[in-house]
Amino acid sequence: MELMPVPKQLPLSRLTARLPRNDLRQMLRLVRLLFRLSQRENYRQRVFPQLPPVCHFDPGHAALMMGYDFHLTVEGPRLIEVNTNAGGGYLIWLSEARAHGYEPTRLPLWLQKRLFGSFQQEWRDFSAGNSPLRRVVLLDEDPQQQPLYLEMLACRDWLREQGLSAEIAAPEQLVADRSGVFLAGKKIDLIYNRHCDFFLEEPSLAGVRDAYLAAAVCLSPNPFVYGLLADKRRMILWSDEVLLAGLGLTAGERQLLLQLVPKSRLLADYNPEELWGERKKLIFKPVTRFGSRGVLMGKSITRKRFAGQEPQTTLVQQVVPPSVATAADGQEFKVDLRLFVYRDRLLGIGARLYRGQVTNLRTEGGGFAPVRLV
């Protein structure tokens, strides 16, 4: 595969983020604990009542490219959120190659093996090994307008190198029902789902939803894994000592969760007047949105915006300030660390550098960045 042209506006930073090895060990311990927890029946029965029925269906496989986002503090790492359609992995690798002074033409072999192994494992778990994986679609809303469209192109071309038929498509391009999902008349085996309608509620996804619930397509990531791990309301359970006590965890496991997960509650659980007085230490997140959309820092929220928050769908979380990376010219950037994971296995590590209140891809000099262990 030839190197694709790299647009000047690509959100890559020239800086390298630092990650202490001990912090990484703590982060991995938490990731593996959360995965084990998501496999437990008592955990599932606790969270299912909070989720729509589509999340109750177990497709029998996991989720491609999970992302676990952390901030680093002087007390150690803190989990900020979990994502089931985490983007940026290709861009982070590209930024790492550039940091070492070369322009890459393909993914490193070790990374190709890890990534393709996750696609193969998803298909084996779904199909019980009865047929080979042949056709893959990368699905997103209006793909060419997505900030990470370049990454989807790279993934598509790489999958083709592996001998698969791979295409990028919007939901409207698919023909889907309980018999399966079809693109240009050909049945699709696996959908690598980059769409952010996590519950498959939009009309354009109705056919995909039907095929998914009929086990006629391997959809990865999917509502089942999203509900168990990435729905922001899971942070409430993970940070509540009383609720954790009923899950049969060891004392060490409970301590790890309470230490690394910031205290999180629904707005409905608070007295509004008392909460207003504590707002500067808090961040407000809509539980059904993504990519920092609708996130409000308590220190800057107005009375009107505060009063307008929906109590049952607004997560109130303790603020965990991010660490800072400093450029040679003295510019400072806030740092989010992201672990890319399949099941409980680490695929890679990356960072997002930014300014302002919440993560974005528009900061001059910021963007996706490589990580150096120290």
What's the pLDDT tens digit per position in 228-273?
A: 999 999 999 999 999 999 899 999 999 999 999 999 999 989 888 8
pTM metric for this prediction:
0.91
* Short-list 341, 322, 343, 342, CA closest to 333: 322
Give residue 220's pLDDT: 97
Mean pLDDT for the chain overall: 89
One-letter amino acid for residue 278 of the chain: E
Q: How confident is the model at residue 8 (pLDDT cuts 50, 70, 90)?
A: very low
Task: Give the Cβ contact number of residue 250 at 10 Å.
Answer: 9
Q: Is 149 helix (H, G, I), strand (E, B) or coil?
A: helix
Question: Model confidence over 178-207: pLDDT tens digits?
Answer: 999 999 999 999 999 999 999 999 999 999
Q: Where are the domains of the chain?
A: 17-234+323-373
CATH architecture, domain defined by 17-234+323-373 = 3-Layer(aba) Sandwich (3.40)
Q: How confident is the model at residue 4 (pLDDT cuts 50, 70, 90)?
A: very low
